Structure 1
């Protein structure tokens, strides 16, 4: 059973807190990933937007594949 079918991972758009401002931890991690990917972090991200950007930048930086 995958994580998305057993309910342990929700789409950020479905989060009840998704529209709240991104957390300090999210923003800190985003800064690291953005620097590695040569990107800028947009201002005023929501938690959901930050999560989606983290997923995107992790793919670009190679952190999930162990290449970084």
Structure 2
């Protein structure tokens, strides 16, 4: 359910990225674009050949580092 106030254990968004069925596929264009923005804001360089799961983990880390996504 979208917009729920609590965690939804059935949601793919709540699964650990390492458990994603498509986690080994290359990151999406949207992930690449957002990671580029976050990395620039954090003053970091991130590999451009991440998987979807790796990109998701980097996004989570950089969101915390930059104060985004709170």
Aligned residue pairs: how many?
Answer: 64
Instruction: Give deviations 1:5-64, integer Å, cap 9, x for gaps.
Output: x22111100000000000000000000000000001212100000000000000000112
Structure 2 gap segments, 5+ residues each: none
Matches within 5 A, 1:37-56: 37-56=42-61
Q: Distance in 2 between matches of 1:60 and 1:23?
A: 22
TM-score normalized with structure 1 length = 0.85
CA positional deviation for 1:2: 4.5
Residue in structure 2 matched with residue 23 of structure 1 by the alignment: 28
Structure 1 gap segments, 5+ residues each: none
